[in-house]
Structure 1
Amino acid sequence: MKGLMVWGTTSDAGKSYIVTGLCRALYNRGINVAPFKGQNMSNNSYVTATGHEIGRSQGLQAEAANVVPTVDMNPVLLKPRSDRKSEVIVRGKSLGSPDAARYRSDFFTIAKQAVADSLQTLSANYDVVLMEGAGSPAEVNLMDKDLANLETAAIADVPALLAGNIERGGVFASITGTLQLLPKHYRDRVQGVIVNKFRGDPALFKSGITWLEQHTGIPVQGVLPAMDIRIEQEDSLSFSTLHTKAETSSALDVAVIAMPYVSNYTDVEPFLAERDVAVRIVREANQFGCPDAVILPGTRSTIHDYHHLAAAGLTEKIIEHYQQGRFLVGICGGFQMLGKQLIDAHGADTGVAGKTAEGMGIFPLYTTFETSKQTNQWQGRFFDESKTMAVSGFEIHSGLAHIDDKGSEWKPLFYSEEKQPEGMMSRDASTIGTYIHHLFHNDSFRHWWLNQLRQSQGKQLQALVPYSANKEKRLNELADALEEHLNIDNLITMMEKR
């Protein structure tokens, strides 16, 4: 197999970023490339055209490579739902939510075979497979069954790069320490080192390159500068630092509510490109302030996270915000929390059959969690008094919604292509709830909603910001930066020699 794997010394070392940039760089060189992550742990997922869940990073990397995302690009997806348990999704099929010990004893062989099968499929259909590791490959307590890093590289029999984040400090220790902890047969796979997020004059790091090469015997393939090229990230560390400062003094203040098992927070990513929108994360009641709009994102554990928000005093703040007539958005699990009641009849959400919780009571919505999950891409339309627009996104939820609307306060937010109503919106458009992820990735809808918000705050209306076109521009900028600072010719030669 012709391919390359990118390992990192830590989480947030830049693995996803580097693989995404390499996918676009190789595509720009005319190479048919597929991204791959054997085992991903993330509540940020993407739904393929066939209705399979994969990690959001692999969906974005496929976009960078200009190929259709498939389940083979991330055959094993683990979605944390508590401190000890994760939902195990193998080739798009949920196998339950075991704890870590049971996963390693009962599911590892199945998962490993899925990785091997998917690699074989990709190898037969693409010139190159670019593989992303997870966390660190040198976790000694997990090394015997490290499917995300060591096992994948061994199955594919490809060389690896090791990336370290110098911005966090300790890059020399993390690189050399990682290499020393790896068994020799895995260490021998490492054919290059990448120093990521370097700030300052690169000439001042020449002695660092010399030291690394002398002490590891491995060439430094590049020193990547800290780059202000934002692309969607799925790592929880990325969510913890998600914020923007608007470029204007009259900025819209958009508060995104944080939860322990937040999912698909990339739903708010397009707002980061808006010059007059400031996005901030709110975890506690004393951080709430008086935002112009509140967005309650999805979650993998709705009832658990609802109780967490209530204990933090945030449900009370959100209800007050709604009662003041300010803008409020609930997406997927956030939509469910804003309803009347959450019913876990079969234990699908909490693991405890019969558990219930009262919601915030804003929407006349009753949610019953089912053991089956709805995962599909979605297309439909939004109808305003003055315009209609196409909207697309995807659904990932196990909740079955019952709407008990006996009044005229609410109307459907969207209509599907099959003319079925979806979501809810107040008559004044200030409050919306939906199961559709990436609704704000639709430029026309986001532009409409933001101008409604601007108008409500007496602020100047703005022109549409083309998010998709800007994302393409950023992907090409990232590829150009990697072409400049990485020896990609060497990497291609490295893949061909293996």
Structure 2
Amino acid sequence: MKGVMIQGTASDVGKSLIVTAMCRILANEGVKVTPFKSQNMSNNSYVTVDGKEIGRAQGIQAEAARNEPTVWMNPILLKPRSNQNAEVVYLGKAIETYSGREYREQFYEKGIEVIKKSLDHLEEHFEVVVIEGAGSPVEINLKDREIVNMMVAELADVPVVLVADIDRGGVFASIVGTLDLLEPKERKRVVGLIINKFRGDITLFEDGIDWLEKRTGIPVLGVLPFMENHMIDGEDSLSLRSQFSTKKKGTLDIAVIHLPYISNYSDLEPFLYEEDVSLRWVNHASDFGQPDAIIIPGTKSTISDLKNLRDKQLDILILQHVKTGGHVVGICGGYQILGEELIDVDGSDTGESASTVSGLGCIPAITTFYEEKETNRVIGKYHKDTRLPTNQQVEGYEIHLGKTVFSNMGCSFLILDNGEEEGYFVKDGQIIGTYLHHLFHNDEWRGHWLNMIRKRKGIPVQEPTYINDFKDKRFDFLASQMKSHLKWDLLKDIINQWSTR
């Protein structure tokens, strides 16, 4: 197979971003390229055009490569449901929930089989495969049955580039230590080093580059700058913290309830580019303050996160906010939490059968969880009773367990293309519930919702911010920045020489 694998000295060193950039660089050079990650652990997922679920990072990387994302690009997705258990999404469909030990003991052979099948499929349809690893390749306690780092490099027979994050410190020790812990045959695969997230004067690091190359015998292929606001969707809880860490003082204060098992937090990223919006996470009652609006995001464990919310007494503050006319939006699991009751007959959400809990009661609806998960891309228009422009299209996707049914008459939010009514909309949008992920990526809708809040706050309304127009430009900008700091021709030569050796 012709390709390269990007591995890291740790999680969140920038592997996903580098793979995204490489996919766009190669695509711009006319190469038919595809991303691949054998096993992804993330609750931030992507729904393919055929209604299958893969890791969000691979969906974005495929877009950068100008390809339609498919399950072959990420055949195994692990979605954490607790500290011990994760749902296994196999070729886009949820099949089982395992503990860590059960997964290692019962799934390993099946995992190897589907990885081989996926690599064969991609090799047949693409010229170059850019593979992303996970975490570190030298997690000694897991290494004997790993299916995401050096094992995949061997199955694909591709060279490896090791990435280290200089921003967190200890870059020399992390590189040398990782190489030292690799087995000799694995170390021979490492053909280059990349230093990521560099800030400051590069001339002050030249001695460090020389030392690394002499100490390891491996060329440093690039020192990449720290890129803020790159607008490329993140993947895991670490990227969530780094991506939303920039504090911005905006006129509008939007509080996001930070649920322990939050999923698809990319729903919130468009707010980072609204100049007058301050987006902040609320972990505890002391963080709550006096927000203009609250968003309760999606979650992989609705009932568990509802309990956590109550334990922190955030439910009291949310209800007080609603009582005083404050805006609130619940997305997916957040929508379910806003309802009256949640019924888990088979233990699909909690793992315990016959569980029933009361919701916050802001929406007159009952949610019943079922075994089968809904995963669909959807298009709809506003319900006529919302008094929003009914000719305006809204796009997004659904990933959820359970069905929500109104216990009393209420206004639906959307009419989907299949004729079904979706979501809840009341009091001119003061309370909204929907299963539609990426709702706020619809620029016209996001602008309208923010203007509702601006009017209530007594400040001027604004025209929508059209961020989606810049999506392809973001990929090209990222590719240009990365390529200018990489020894790109040398990296291509290494890939070509390896595949023809």
TM-score calculated relative to the size of structure 2: 0.96
1:402 maps to 2:415: no
Q: Which residue of 2 aligns with 1:235?
A: 236
Distance 1:151 1:341 in 2: 46
Distance 2:444 2:491 in 1: 41
Q: Taking structure 1 as reference, are residues 386 and 315 closer, same or farther at Cα in structure 2, changes over 3 Å only?
A: closer
Distance 1:120 1:251 in 2: 53
**Deviation of residue 92 (structure 1)?**
1.4
Q: Which residue of 1 aligns with 2:439?
A: 439
Contact 1:243 1:281 in 2 (8 A): no
Distance 1:342 1:274 in 2: 34
Distance 1:61 1:268 in 2: 19
**Deviation of residue 250 (structure 1)?**
5.4
Distance 1:97 1:391 in 2: 33
Letter in 2 for 1:354: A
Q: Which residue of 1 aligns with 2:456?
A: 456
Q: Which residue of 2 aligns with 1:385?
A: 387
**Deviation of residue 405 (structure 1)?**
1.7
**Deviation of residue 428 (structure 1)?**
1.6
**Deviation of residue 385 (structure 1)?**
2.7
Q: Which residue of 2 aligns with 1:116?
A: 116
**Deviation of residue 152 (structure 1)?**
1.2
Distance 2:268 2:211 in 1: 42
**Deviation of residue 323 (structure 1)?**
1.0
**Deviation of residue 213 (structure 1)?**
0.5
Match of 2:10, SS state, is coil
**Deviation of residue 471 (structure 1)?**
2.5
Distance 1:470 1:310 in 2: 40
Match of 2:461, SS state, is coil
Q: Which residue of 2 aligns with 1:210?
A: 210
Q: Which residue of 1 aligns with 2:153?
A: 153
Distance 1:170 1:196 in 2: 13
Contact 1:244 1:280 in 2 (8 A): no
346-355 vs 469-478, greater mean Cα deviation: 469-478
Q: Which residue of 2 aligns with 1:360?
A: 360
Contact 1:243 1:279 in 2 (8 A): no
Q: Taking structure 1 as reference, are residues 218 and 149 closer, same or farther at Cα in structure 2, changes over 3 Å only?
A: same
Structure 1 residues 419-466: Cα deviation after superposition (integer angstroms, max 9, x where no partner) = 211000113211110001001111111111111121121122222212
1:331 maps to 2:331: yes
Structure 1 residues 53-99: Cα deviation after superposition (integer angstroms, max 9, x where no partner) = 10000111111111100000100000000111100111112221111
Q: Taking structure 1 as reference, are residues 243 and 202 closer, same or farther at Cα in structure 2, changes over 3 Å only?
A: closer
Distance 1:112 1:381 in 2: 43
How does 1:164-179 map onto structure 2 within 5 Å? Answer: 164-179=164-179
Distance 2:387 2:406 in 1: 23
How does 1:2-21 map onto structure 2 within 5 Å? Answer: 2-21=2-21
222-231 vs 37-46, greater mean Cα deviation: 222-231
**Deviation of residue 230 (structure 1)?**
3.2
Match of 2:16, SS state, is helix
Distance 2:101 2:490 in 1: 40
Match of 2:167, SS state, is helix
Contact 2:49 2:377 in 1 (8 A): yes
Match of 1:444, SS state, is helix
Q: Which residue of 2 aligns with 1:82?
A: 82
Structure 1 residues 267-295: Cα deviation after superposition (integer angstroms, max 9, x where no partner) = 00111111111111110000010111111
227-236 vs 296-305, greater mean Cα deviation: 227-236
RMSD: 1.2
Q: Which residue of 1 aligns with 2:302?
A: 302
Q: Taking structure 1 as reference, are residues 250 and 151 closer, same or farther at Cα in structure 2, changes over 3 Å only?
A: closer
**Deviation of residue 211 (structure 1)?**
0.7
Match of 1:7, SS state, is strand
Identity %: 48
Ranges of 4+ aligned residues in structure 1 off by more than 3 Å: 243-246
Distance 2:271 2:32 in 1: 32
Q: Which residue of 1 aligns with 2:162?
A: 162
**Deviation of residue 472 (structure 1)?**
2.2
Letter in 2 for 1:497: Q
Contact 2:23 2:61 in 1 (8 A): yes
**Deviation of residue 243 (structure 1)?**
4.3
Match of 1:325, SS state, is coil
Letter in 2 for 1:175: I
Contact 1:244 1:279 in 2 (8 A): no
**Deviation of residue 25 (structure 1)?**
1.2
Letter in 1 for 2:289: G
Q: Which residue of 2 aligns with 1:317?
A: 317
Match of 1:395, SS state, is strand
Match of 2:129, SS state, is strand
Contact 1:411 1:427 in 2 (8 A): no
Contact 2:52 2:71 in 1 (8 A): yes
Letter in 1 for 2:146: D
Contact 2:250 2:275 in 1 (8 A): no
Match of 2:149, SS state, is helix
Structure 1 residues 21-57: Cα deviation after superposition (integer angstroms, max 9, x where no partner) = 1111111111111111100000110110111110000
**Deviation of residue 467 (structure 1)?**
1.7
- Structure 2 residue runs without a partner (length 5+): none
Q: Which residue of 1 aligns with 2:493?
A: 493
Letter in 1 for 2:389: K
Structure 1 residues 345-391: Cα deviation after superposition (integer angstroms, max 9, x where no partner) = 00101110011211000101111111111111111112553523101
**Deviation of residue 404 (structure 1)?**
1.1
Q: Which residue of 2 aligns with 1:94?
A: 94
